[in-house]
Structure formats: C-alpha cells, structure tokens
Amino acid sequence: MGHTLVFVYGTLKKGEQRSTILTDETFLGPAVLHGYKLYDLTWRGYPAITKGTANNSTFGELYSVSDRTLGIVDMLEGSLYSREEVTIETPRKKIRKAMTYVWNGVLEDLQDAKLVASGKWERRNKG
C-alpha cells in the first residue's frame, strides 16, 4: 500500500473536528504553504484556500497518509475542493511536494468569507 504526503490546514489538523480521520497516519510536523490565501467559511465551519500571491501563506500540518485514508479524505472534501500538488516548507526550511485541497467551489461563495490574514485557521476556539 502506498503513502502520500498531505498538507492539511483546517478541520483535519490536530484537535480539530475531523482530526480523528488522521489518527493512524504519520504526523510529520508543522508546515507552511506559500502563495495561497486562507479563508474562513464561518457559516460552513471550515476553511478554504485559493491561489494568492507570494505575500500569502497558509500554516498547517504535514502527514504521510495511506491510500485508504487518502480516499476517505477525497470523499470528505467532495466536489468543493480539488486535490492538487503543492510545494510546502517545513520549519527547518526543507522544501517538499505534498498534496492539499484547494477550493474548487463557486468563487462568489468566498465573497462572504473572511480572509485569514495570519494564515492560521482554528475552529476549536470558536463557539
């Protein structure tokens, strides 16, 4: 069975509502994705990223996941996100290729979303 590096930035992060999906997977540590904007879709309870500029960064976590778990995450993300290969950076400045989920929904849906300028999304601390 193969494994894929996956960068997560929202509900799959440790302590978030869907983090148990990755419980049996290998946590490789924090990572940052440069060049992507992070939005809080508050009314939906989860975030989204879109391509941005070099000034935008999204902070998250890097995992090595099994093909089975990757399939589960694909189903979870559904048609609103597309799985794309991106370049992430670890705290030790190591550059790696990983898969992540980029907003594939209607861009107008993001007009009411809040841009998360810090690049760090956390739902667990909200209501």
Task: Find the CATH number of the domain harbouring 84.
Answer: 3.10.490.10
- Residue 117: which region, alpha, beta or left (left: phi > 0; alpha: psi -120 to 50)? alpha
Q: Is 125 inside any structural domain?
A: no
Predicted local confidence at residue 1, as pLDDT? 67
Q: Is 61 inside any structural domain?
A: yes
pLDDT tens-digit series, residues 21-53: 999 999 999 999 999 999 999 888 899 999 999
Sign of the dihedral defined by the CA atoms of residues 53, 117, 80, 108, in that order: negative
Question: Is 61 noted as a catalytic residue in this protein?
Answer: no
Q: Provide the pLDDT confidence category of residue 67 given band limits of 50, 70 and 90.
A: very high
What total number of domains does the chain contain?
1
Q: Is 120 inside any structural domain?
A: no
Instruction: With beta carbons less than 8 A apart as the criterion, state whether 47 and 39 touch.
Output: yes
Q: Is 8 inside any structural domain?
A: yes
Q: Which pair of structure tokens corresponds to residue 29?
A: 């540590």
Q: Is 124 inside any structural domain?
A: no
Range of the domain at 57: 3-115
Q: Is 121 inside any structural domain?
A: no
User: Hey, what amino acid is at 7?
Assistant: F
Q: What is the pTM of this model?
A: 0.93
Of 25, 61, 77, 85, the active-site residue reads: 77
pLDDT tens-digit series, residues 82-107: 999 999 999 999 999 999 999 998 87
Q: Is 23 inside any structural domain?
A: yes
10 Å CB burial of residue 47 (0-12, 13-18, 19+) is buried
Q: Is 123 inside any structural domain?
A: no
